[in-house]
Structure 1
Amino acid sequence: MTVRRTLFGRPLRGVAFDVAVAALVVLVSVASAVNQPGGWAATLVGVGMAVALLFRRTHPSAVTVVVAALALVQVVAEWGPLVYDVAVLIALYSVVKYGERLRDGVLAGAVAAVGVLLAAAQTPGVIQWWVTALWYALVTGAVWLVALNVRTRRLYVLSLEERATTLEREREAEFRAAVAEERTRIARELHDVVAHSMAVMIVQADGARFMFDRDPAQARTAVKVVADTGRQALEEMRRLVGVLRDAGPGIADGSDGLVVAADPEHRRLALAELPDLLARFDDAGLRIRSTVTGAPPALPPGLELTVYRVVQEALTNALKHAGVGASVEVVLTYSDEAVLVRVLDNGLGRPLVSPAPSGGHGLLGMRERVTVYDGSLTAGPRPVGGWQVEVRLPLPSEPATEVIAA
């Protein structure tokens, strides 16, 4: 990170440069006090110009007026052009470069043109006055044109910076909107999961009430289902509240989550539907090979939904970026601690002719879903070519442990 030092609200480097310029004008004014026309009175005029130049960046128009007024005093006193008149050129350069309106620079150039004629008329010499005026005009015009060129470049750079800032704001706004949309979608799906669990609890509780006298063993089983389902629903509710909170932003990669066929909005998806999802993407042109390692445990509905959506978004990105005909490997690894999802493609497909409608936000959506279950997401290019997505989702603890932790 670059640290910019300031003095009186101005960059320290600029202040030091302006002080050096003013000191130079003072130096030549004092050094010429004995030999120059006007003596020490002319030196005071030069010192006044030098002091005014200290503010040439912040108040260029006012500085130019002050310097021009002091130069007029010099003309009225008939001292002729002096060495410290370089301050006039510096003021002219400053008003053209730093002035809020170019009109001030044009007006300063017109005043400088009149000053050129007056200075040429008071310049002692053996050559004709118009030759001297032409020389002064060339120098003054060159300074004005250089300042105009620097002003143009400065304004161009400022416009680029402003445009970049605007684009960054727009990108941040779009990113926040995408996060909000994805979190709303996740919250809606988790709400459906919790509602389903509550329905199961009600049905089992009603059944247990009627079976207490007829079949106590079956009633106890029903009550256990109610308890387990209630704990699971409570955990899903905690996650739902976490999604709705204003958490920090995840990552944005710009992918928009192309899907082949959108699922009905209120249908609860499960791992049993993964083969149908893979078949749809296979029909869309991907060459998919699926591998399952380990015995699939009984997962909470919300976690099943997350695994399903991760695979869906990863295949979507593979179809969009790797293209039709790409080889994709989907690996599901189940262990006692976590579910590991890996989706790898070789990146050797053909571009899509007409992309299907978007149904998510790519890596952004995956990141949000994985974060809900305290998982980890790794995505990036493969050394051998193509792209890989790896998600690790820790399995929830036993119900009894959850109750103690709560």
Structure 2
Amino acid sequence: MTRRILGLPLRSVVFDLAVVGAVALLALAAATTQAGGWAAAVVGLVMAAALVWRRRRPVAVTVVVAALAITQVAFGWGALPYDLAVLVALYSVVKYAEQLRAGIVAGVVAAIGVVLAAVQTPSQVEWYFPAIYYGLVTGAVWLAALNVRTRRLYVLSLEERAATLEREREAEARAAVAEERTRIARELHDVVAHSMAVMIVQADGARYMIDQSPETARNAVRIVADTGRQALDDMRRLVGVLREPSPAEPGPGDPANPDAGTLVDRADGTGERAAGGAPPPTAGLVAEPVHRRPSVGELPALLDRFRAAGLRVRYTVDGPPGTLPQALDLTVYRLVQEALTNTLKHAGVGAVVEVTLEHVADAVVLGVVDDGQGRPAVTPAPSGGHGLVGMRERVSVYDGSLIAGPRLAGGWQVRARLPLPSAPTTEVIAA
């Protein structure tokens, strides 16, 4: 971090002190030989002292230096070596003044001073030759200061724009997370409502069968308990997601998430994945009825819709499928849906996609890999999507891991591992 003194970088302070010292030495060096003697040297020293504040108070410094220069001209001393302070003050007011109008006024005053100084300069030629020389030097300083001021303001505008874009991006990401959490809450509400309905039906059946068939009643009560545990587990996950802030996105090699990969949303315009393939309208591929709860069993129908849209999809299921909790079932469906939608948008029509669903003892492992060889896009896919934001939120509900990023062989991959809940899953027995 750059050291600062009085709010200014250390190197700026050192440079200003060197300029002040140079002007002061010029004022003292010829005190006995220059016109005005020690009186002129005192004027030069005051000019040097004023330059200390040239960055913070450029207009005030220029007024002081100009007043001293007019005093010098009034006494008829002509141009002296320490008049370097006039050029420094002119440069400072053009570069650092809040409005360029102050620099323009300073330039006009400097032009008048050039003429007066040229008239008082002893010379073998006409007065306008020194005036031209002084004018060229002063004009060059003024133009150099204007160029530096323009570049400085341009850099400041870029920094402000970058800061504004960063704030907008953070706000947009927070809004996307909030929207996805609302969607998760709505879907888990359906799951919990279904569980409560099952519990009520089973409890009523147990009440009516407790005398006629105690074994059936005990089985119904067991189902009520298992369903209640599962619903409570789903609700606990939901409350945890809604209470906790969005976790920081783990980077590659993060020890907190060894499965973390390159998490880049291909629709956010960062250029991590080149857009390819003009997708046909995909609204029908994503939208679902409000009260519908899609599941893994509906994946073949979903894949058929994407095949009809132009993707070449292969679907493989490994391991015994078993029965997944409804919330987890819905999460797997949504992950496949989002991954295929991104493939259609960015890999393009004709891309080959491999969808694998592996059921292991303690988790469900999902993979969606495409070759990125679709037809080139006529119109690039719109930027600003938040597909991976939603996918991360869904996976985090189950403390799972998500890897999403480009492949070395080309194309894109999405791999998710979703641990199974510890609570047992049983069949529902109607009373």
**Alignment CA distance shift 1:275-1:313 (3 Å):** same
Aligned to 1:349: 374
Counterpart position of 1:148: 146
Match of 1:103 among 78, 101, 104: 101
Checking the alignment, whether the CA contact within 8 Å between 2:266 and 2:346 is kept in structure 1 is no
Following TM superposition, the consecutive aligned residue runs of length 4 or more in structure 1 with deviations greater than 4 angstroms are 249-252, 256-259, 351-358
Tell me how far apart the structure 1 counterparts of residues 177 and 129 of structure 2 sit (CA, whole Å): 72
Which range moves more in the overlay, 251-260 or 70-79? 251-260
2:302 matched to 1:290?
no
Shift of 1:178: 1.3
8 Å Cα contact 1:286-1:326 kept in structure 2: yes
Q: Is the 8 A contact 1:61 1:99 kept in 2?
A: yes
State the partner residue of 1:340. Answer: 365
Question: In the alignment, residue 16 of structure 1 is paired with which amino acid?
Answer: V
In the alignment, which of 309, 313, 319 is matched to residue 334 of structure 2?
Answer: 309
Residue-by-residue CA offset, 1:285-305 (whole Å, 9 max, x unaligned)? 111111111112332211111
Give the equivalent residue in structure 1 for 2:4. 6
Query: Offset of 1:242 from its aligned partner?
Result: 1.8
Distance 1:103 1:393 in 2: 65
Q: Is the 8 A contact 1:379 1:389 kept in 2?
A: yes
For residue 404 of structure 2, the aligned residue among 370, 379, 383 is 379
Cα drift, residue 355 of structure 1: 10
* 1:10-29 → structure 2 map (5 Å cutoff): 10-29=8-27
Matched, 1:179 2:177: yes
Instruction: Name 1:300's counterpart in structure 2.
Output: 325
SS at match of 1:229: helix
Residue identity opposite 2:17 in structure 1: V
Q: Which residue of 1 aligns with 2:245?
A: 247
For 2:416, the equivalent position in structure 1 comes to 391
Q: CA deviation at 1:370?
A: 0.5
Alignment check: 8 A CA contact 2:267 2:382 kept = no
CA contact (8 A) 2:312 2:351 kept: yes
RMSD value over aligned CA atoms? Answer: 2.2
CA distance in 1 between counterparts of 2:266 and 2:93 reads: 44
Q: Within the alignment, does 1:203 sit opposite 2:201 as a pair?
A: yes
The aligned residue for residue 366 of structure 1 is 391
Task: Give the counterpart letter for 1:346 in structure 2.
Answer: D
Aligned partner (choices 323, 326, 331) of residue 351 of structure 2: 326
Query: Could you tell me how far 1:340 is from its partner in structure 2?
Result: 0.8
Counterpart secondary structure, 1:54: helix
Q: Contact 1:250/1:367 (CA < 8 Å) preserved in 2?
A: no
Identity, % of aligned positions: 67
Cα shift at 1:308: 0.8
Q: Is the 8 A contact 2:286 2:337 kept in 1?
A: no
- Which residue of structure 2 aligns with residue 83 of structure 1? 81
Rounded Cα–Cα distance in structure 2 between residues aligned with 1:80 and 1:102: 29
Query: Do residues 266 (structure 1) and 264 (structure 2) align?
Result: no
Q: Aligned pair in 2 of structure 1 residues 21, 355: CA closer, same or farther (>3 Å)?
A: closer
Higher relative contact order (CA 8 A, sep 6+): 2
Find the residue that maps to 1:66 and give its secondary structure: helix
Other-structure match for 1:51: 49
What CA deviation, in whole Å up to 9, does each residue of 1:41-92 have, x standing for no partner? 2222112111211111111111100111111221222222111101100100
Shift of 1:382: 1.1
Q: Specify which of 198, 222, 244 is matched with residue 224 of structure 1.
A: 222
The answer on whether the counterparts of 2:345 and 2:381 sit within 8 Å (CA) in structure 1 is no
Residue 129 of structure 1 pairs with residue 141 of structure 2: no
Pick aligned residue for 2:161 from 142, 160, 163: 163
Q: Which moved more, 1:252-261 or 1:363-372?
A: 252-261
In 2: Cα distance, 1:210 partner to 1:46 partner: 109
Corresponding residue number in structure 1 for 2:273: none
Q: Is the 8 A contact 1:255 1:363 kept in 2?
A: no
When the two structures are aligned, how many residues end up with a matched partner? 397
Structure 1 residue matching 2:77: 3-state secondary structure: coil
Instruction: Give the partner amino acid of 1:79.
Output: W
| Residue identity opposite 2:358 in structure 1 | T
TM-score by length of 2: 0.87
The answer as to whether partners of 1:320 and 1:351 remain within 8 angstroms in 2 is no
Query: Contact conserved, 2:177 with 2:246, CA < 8 A, in 1?
Result: no
SS of the residue 2:53 aligns to: coil
Q: Structure 1: which amino acid aligns with 2:182?
A: T
Q: Which moved more, 1:157-166 or 1:330-339?
A: 157-166
Question: Quick one: structure 1 residues 35 and 357, their matched pair in 2 at CA, closer, same or farther if it must change by over 3 Å?
Answer: closer
State the AA in 2 paired with 1:78: G
Tell me how far 1:324 sits from its aligned partner. 0.9
Structure 1 residue aligned with 2:271: none
Is the Cα–Cα contact under 8 Å of residues 45 and 70 in structure 1 kept in the other structure? yes
Structure 2: runs of 5+ lacking an equivalent: 250-263, 269-278, 426-431
SS at match of 2:357: strand
Please say if residues 92 and 144 of structure 1, whose CA atoms lie closer than 8 Å, have aligned partners that are also in contact.
yes
Once residues 399 and 32 of structure 1 are traced to their aligned partners in structure 2, the CA distance between those partners, rounded to angstroms, is 98
Further displaced range: 252-261 or 380-389? 252-261
Q: Secondary structure at the match of 1:40?
A: helix
Query: How many angstroms apart in 1 are the aligned matches of 2:307 and 2:64?
Result: 79
Q: Hey, what does 1:403 align to over in structure 2? A: none
User: Which amino acid in the other structure matches residue 265 of structure 2?
Assistant: D
Secondary structure of the corresponding residue to residue 79 of structure 1: coil
